[in-house]
């Protein structure tokens, strides 16, 4: 057995990482599952050119095991594994990434996504574990090794047996519960299922766990407990599928389940983009506003994924305020992530994606206005106010995006009209757009000035919301 200490700078980094880098402790599960997926990706990539691997894609899997009695959580994979040297380089030296080196040294195509870029994700386990054990056997090696550490002073590496073949098994001995932290929550199968669904649902290899189901029979009888190995993740996200494979029902069901809405969306936008910015996006225009939408407590944002792993639940930078009602997901392999993979570094890719999404949303709404006026007006009655605020608050910067989406009640027939429709009906001698302000249409129609304008055959827009006149003045100026 070799006992080694972390270097002084590594100790400081480890302490900082455990206490500062990660916002939520639950992120540790995402990190070790992502590392397991990386390890499988490497062996799968190798199997495409090396028949000695002897495995096909369906043979690969990640397994999770809970042991409440011993307070351990175990995550294992049958990926490429690690040699003693790999253990030393990848786990003994903090922030050294074997995944990054692998991707750099191999000209990988888009089919192999290696997301472990920083080599620090593994150490997030020490946020919840007082001891971590790694048992691993590399492909092509006869010897397995065990790495053990309490995350404080150092680690040990020793030879061991691994009868189940190549791959890596990580076992976390969870910390004791305190008044502030209940680490036992990570021994609850429903919590683990929830975290896998939240962060790792689209890892493309099955994540399996033995799950208990309790069945209650006749009154007075003991409930029956059945155990079964279940796959916890979906693997293939709907946005990665071809549009031809999907029906409106598929899109609507995904939306209602994913975003907790009981009503189907008005419409959806499913786009794939390659080139300067490569990403998949699935966006939804809701039919109703959340209860807190027009309050300061509302948080806009799209769910952001990198190669199928959720990075942010609400990435506000992907949506302008005037389209803050949009729900959806964006998945890109090209993002510049920070060291914890929780936040984005502001870069050109993100801005390009955001600009493309804004254009897509605008085009979809214009199409809806043209092809299904009734549905658009229903949508506009819920979210139209946001467009007006968008023009006003952006000091006109959003004019080109929003001007053709605005609607106002009109004296023409009492119904909503767009500015473009108003202009198309202007008299030959009419040089200006006429509007009148009031609390309601009925009150506006009682204004004596209105009759004089209408007598000339001019159409009048009714401004019944406080922001209407401000928005128009910003557009004119």
- From the list 9, 102, 27, 19, the residue with the least C-alpha distance to 343 is 27
Q: Which domains does the chain have, with CATH numbers?
A: 2-231 (3.30.565.10), 238-374 (3.30.230.80), 407-476 (3.40.50.11260)
The two tokens of residue 245 are 């494979």
Contact 119, 39 (CB under 8 A): no
pTM for this model (two decimals): 0.76
Q: How does the average pLDDT of the chain come out, rounded?
A: 86
pLDDT of the residue at 108: 44
**Pairing of the two strands 144-149 and 154-160:** antiparallel
pLDDT digit string, tens, across residues 328-370: 999 988 776 654 455 555 567 888 999 999 999 999 999 999 9
Q: Please give the pLDDT value at position 12.
A: 64
Rounded CA-CA distance 118/151 in Å is 18
| Residue spans of alpha helices (H) in 125-247 | 189-199
Model confidence pLDDT, tens digit, residues 375-386: 999 999 999 999
The pLDDT tens digits for 123-138 are: 888 889 999 999 999 9
Question: Model confidence at 306, in pLDDT bands (50, 70, 90)?
Answer: confident
Report the alpha-carbon distance of residue 117 to residue 342 in Å, rounded.
Answer: 13
Q: So what's the pLDDT on residue 220? A: 64
Residue 400 or residue 476, greater confidence: 400
* Phi, psi at 56, each rounded to 5°: -110, 170
Per residue in 17-71, pLDDT tens?
A: 666 656 688 989 998 999 999 899 999 999 998 888 989 888 999 999 999 999 9
Tell me the C-alpha to C-alpha distance, in Å, between residue 193 and each of 89, 183, 187, 305: 32, 16, 11, 19
Two tokens, residue 189: 């199968």
Q: With contact defined as beta carbons under 8 Å apart, do 201 and 257 qualify? A: no
Q: Where are the alpha helices (DSSP H) in 319-372?
A: 348-371
**Given this model, what pLDDT does residue 457 score?**
85
């Amino acid at each position: 057995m070799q006992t080694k200490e972390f270097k002084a700078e590594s100790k400081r980094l480890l302490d900082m990482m455990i206490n500062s880098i990660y916002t939520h402790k639950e992120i540790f599960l995402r990190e070790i599952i992502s590392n397991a997926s990386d390890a499988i990706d490497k062996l799968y990539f190798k199997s495409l050119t090396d028949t000695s691997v002897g495995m096909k894609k369906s043979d690969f899997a990640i397994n999770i095991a809970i042991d409440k009695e011993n307070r351990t959580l175990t995550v294992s994979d049958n990926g490429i594994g690690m040699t003693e040297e790999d253990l030393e380089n990848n786990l003994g030296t903090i922030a050294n990434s074997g995944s990054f080196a692998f991707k750099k040294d191999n000209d990988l195509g888009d089919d192999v996504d290696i997301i472990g870029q920083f080599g620090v994700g593994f150490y997030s386990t020490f946020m919840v574990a007082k001891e971590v054990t790694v048992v691993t056997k590399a492909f092509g090696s006869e010897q397995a090794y065990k790495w053990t550490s309490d995350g404080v002073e150092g680690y040990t590496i020793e030879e061991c047996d691994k009868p189940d073949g190549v791959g890596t098994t990580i076992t976390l001995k969870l910390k004791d519960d305190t008044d502030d932290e209940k680490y036992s929550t990570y021994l609850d199968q429903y919590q683990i299922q929830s975290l896998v669904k939240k962060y790792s649902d689209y890892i493309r290899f099955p994540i399996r766990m033995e799950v208990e189901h309790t069945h209650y029979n006749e009154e007075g009888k003991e409930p029956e407990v059945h155990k079964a190995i279940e796959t916890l993740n979906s693997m293939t996200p709907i946005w990665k599928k071809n549009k031809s494979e999907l029906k409106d029902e598929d899109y609507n069901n995904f939306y209602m389940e994913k975003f907790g809405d009981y009503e189907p969306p008005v419409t959806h936008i499913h786009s794939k983009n390659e080139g300067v910015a490569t990403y998949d996006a699935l966006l939804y225009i809701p039919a109703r506003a959340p209860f807190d939408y027009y309050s300061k407590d509302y948080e806009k944002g799209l769910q952001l994924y990198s190669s199928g792993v959720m990075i942010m639940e609400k990435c506000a930078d992907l949506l302008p305020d005037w389209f803050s009602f949009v729900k959806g997901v964006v998945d890109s392999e090209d993002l510049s992530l920070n060291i914890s993979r929780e936040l984005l570094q502001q870069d050109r890719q993100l801005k390009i994606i955001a600009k493309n999404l804004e254009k897509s949303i605008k085009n979809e709404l214009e199409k809806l206005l043209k092809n299904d006026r009734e549905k658009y007006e229903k949508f506009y009655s819920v979210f139209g106010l946001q467009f007006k605020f968008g023009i006003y608050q952006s000091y006109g910067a959003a004019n080109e995006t929003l001007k053709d989406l605005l609607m106002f009640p009109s004296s023409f027939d009492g119904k909503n009209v767009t500015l473009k429709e108003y202009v198309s009906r202007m008299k030959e001698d009419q040089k200006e757009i006429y509007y009148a302000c009031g609390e309601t249409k009925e009150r506006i129609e009682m204004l004596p000035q209105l009759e004089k304008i209408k007598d000339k055959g001019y159409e009048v827009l009714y401004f019944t919301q406080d922001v209407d006149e401000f928005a128009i003045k910003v557009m004119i100026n």
